[in-house]
Amino acid sequence: MTFREKLEKRIATTGSNLCVGLDVRMDQADESTKRFIIKVIEETAAHAAAFKPNSAYYEAMGWKGMRILSQVLKEIPNDIPVIFDVKRGDIGETQGYYAKSAYDAYGVDAVTLNAYMGKDTLEPFLKYPDKGIYLLGVTSNPGAVDIELQPTGDRKVFELVADMTQASPQVGLVIGLTNAAENVLSKTPDVPLLIPGLGAQGGDLSALKGSGRKAPLLVNVSRGIMYHQESCSFGTIAADWKLRIQEALG
Ligand SMILES: O=c1ccn([C@@H]2O[C@H](COP(=O)(O)O)[C@@H](O)[C@H]2O)c(=O)[nH]1
């Protein structure tokens, strides 16, 4: 089964477009850190269309952090797609090793890539035809205006990246909710979208109303679940985000 089929099946089964971010903020890669992440996974799994660990938070804890990542990935039920947020972009030779790391060593279903260095940098990842790729399109940070939203001829830079999604149906785009204005979404092809920026970054779900997209769409919440301020379970919070996203998507 391809990444896209797996994701479509998961969205259909759960009625959820919520991607639960697993960005743990701990100094020590010890047993309690591992147990905390596993608790988040267990409590939110029923509401999760996908999980997204960002590599930075595990790398920051050194090799033990990466060991924890590999251990917690094994706790994720097989029918839930895992997107490894690594934002890789390098020459082909090196990208080949990044692809091997993500897909062979960690066994994830999809990755995020930075296409700034051009189309050829995607090729090593495309050699895994069933796996998914999300290219950074219009990211959720204020600096999206510096390059991604700059004009080039009569288009914007991110539209050149969007063209690269034609390489395979497994290739989609990252579009930050905080920057998902109508003039961005209308130029974004109907490809799988990964939409971060909800929760801590203050993105507004109403931006997605009536988008009428057919390709699978994920809205990511990391801090807004893992570090929520309410006195209830991670599961309750995830269920609430799932509902809010469902309502926005109609
Ligand atoms: O444009 C982007 C691309 C990636 N991210 C990542 O998503 C999560 C967001 O975390 P929150 O805690 O929900 O803000 C994090 O891993 C980012 O690195 C993004 O925010 N924007």
pLDDT reported for residue 111: 98
Q: Residue 66's closest CA among 24, 3, 113? A: 24
Ligand 1 atom nearest 200 alpha carbon: 14
What is the residue-averaged pLDDT of the chain? 97
In sequence order, the β-bridge partners of residue 174 are 136, 194
Amino acid 71: pLDDT: 98
Atom of ligand 1 nearest to the CA of 85: 16
User: Quick one: tokens of 161?
Assistant: 């990246």
User: Residue type at 134?
Assistant: Y
Query: Residue of the nearest CA to atom 3 in ligand 1?
Result: 139
- Ligand 1 proximity of 176 Cβ (cutoff 6 Å): yes
Query: Are 181 and 211 within 8 A, CB to CB?
Result: no
Q: Which of 202, 184, 196 is nearest to 17 (CA)?
A: 196
- How many angstroms separate the alpha carbon of residue 75 from the centre of ligand 1? 22
Is 156 noted as a catalytic residue in this protein?
A: no
With a cut of 80, say whether residue 148 has pLDDT above it.
Answer: yes
- At 1-26, the pLDDT tens digits run 999 999 999 999 999 999 999 999 99
In 3D, which of 48, 61, 59, 60 has the Cα closest to residue 21?
48
100 is written with which tokens? 């091997």
Across residues 184-200, what is the average pLDDT?
A: 98
For strand 171-175 and strand 132-138, is the pairing parallel, antiparallel, or unpaired? parallel
Nearest-CA residue for atom 13 of ligand 1: 222
**Substitution site in 193, 198, 222, 229 for ligand 1 pocket (most atoms within 8 Å of beta carbon):** 222
What pLDDT shows up at residue 212? Answer: 84
Residue 190, pLDDT > 80, answer: yes
Q: Is the CB of 23 under 6 A from ligand 1?
A: yes
Q: How does pLDDT run across 52-63, given as a tens digit for each residue?
A: 999 999 999 999
Q: The domain spanning residue 19 has which CATH number?
A: 3.20.20.70
SS (H, E, C) 179-226: HCCHHHHCCCCCCCEEECCCCCCCCCHHHHCCCCCCCCEEEEECHHHH
The residues near 146 (Cβ < 8 Å, ≥ 6 apart) are: none
Whether 173 contacts 135, CB under 8 Å: yes
Backbone angles phi, psi at 174, to 5 degrees: -95, 125
Residue identifier of the C-alpha nearest atom 6 of ligand 1: 196
* Predicted pLDDT at 127: 98
Ligand 1 pocket: which of 23, 82, 226 to mutate (most atoms <8 Å of CB)? Answer: 23
- Measured in Å, residue 196 CA sits from the centre of ligand 1 at 5
Our count of domains for the chain comes to: 1
The answer, yes or no, to whether ipTM is higher than 0.85 is yes
Is the pLDDT at 211 greater than 80? The verdict is no
Domain enclosing residue 229, as ranges: 3-249
